[in-house]
Amino acid sequence: MDESPKQLIAETKVPIPASPGEVAKHDYEYRRCGVCNIFLACEPLAEKRMVKITERKTKVDWACFIEEIAGQYESAEKITLVMDNLNTHNPGSLYEVFPPDKAKALWNRFEFVYTPKHGSWLNMAEIELNVLTGQCLNRRIYDIEIVRVGKRQRHGRNLETTKMRRLIGNSLPRMPG
């Protein structure tokens, strides 16, 4: 599991579309439309990738994402999750968001494996984020709808497979189930 910020920027001038023998032309000037955060969890051997967009990268956002991961593996006795040592990745985050019994139950479902402080390259999710960025997010994305999708997901409506594909591209493999 890893997370990454994404700057939302818009064009200030209308781009010139590609034509035969010519590439599309974009002006270097842009308008900043804020930022959002991308949470990503992956299981490479099962070809699964979970992506959640949030407005920020807070303890609450992390705890809710952990709950979603646990929901994807309801029948698993223990979920091994490799992640970095960010200050929000601790049991206190779960206890701030959920009642104590639920926080403890969630914490006990996981075996957290932290990557070494200077070894984030060991985190497969960071590699997945780099691939996602290279294939889908290395362009100007300004539509604030990407942030609204994250809000709706927090409230139980899963729009990831429809709006997220339109916003960040169709190169994401479909998640089984």
Q: Is residue 87 part of a domain?
A: yes
- Run of H or E including 91: helix 91-97
Least confident stretch, 13-17, 56-60, 108-112:
13-17
Any idea what the CATH number is for the domain that residue 127 is in? 3.30.420
Secondary structure string (H, E, C) spanning 24-87: CECCCCEEEEEEEEEEEEEEHHHCEEEEEEECCCCHHHHHHHHHHHHHHCCCCCCEEEEECCCC
**Mean pLDDT of the region 97-119:** 89
Q: What share of the chain is helix, strand, coil (3-state, %, to 5)?
A: 40, 25, 35
Q: Is residue 26 part of a domain?
A: yes
More confident residue, 76 or 138: 76
pLDDT of residue 123: 67
The count of structural domains within the chain is 1
Q: Is residue 173 part of a domain?
A: no
Taking the alpha carbons at both ends of the chain, their separation in whole angstroms is 19
C-alpha span between 8 and 167 (Å, rounded) = 12
Q: Is residue 122 part of a domain?
A: yes
C-alpha span between 86 and 3 (Å, rounded) = 10
Cα-to-chain-centroid distance, residue 43: 14
Cα-to-chain-centroid distance, residue 49: 9
- In tens, the pLDDT along 79-89 reads 998 888 788 88
Q: Is residue 70 part of a domain?
A: yes
Say yes or no to pLDDT of 105 above 90.
yes
Q: Is residue 174 part of a domain?
A: no
Helix axes 100-109, 59-72, angle to 10 degrees: 60
Q: Which domain holds residue 17?
A: 2-168
**This model's pTM is above 0.75:** no
What are 24's strand-pairing partners?
A: none
Kindly state the percentage of the chain with pLDDT values over 70: 73
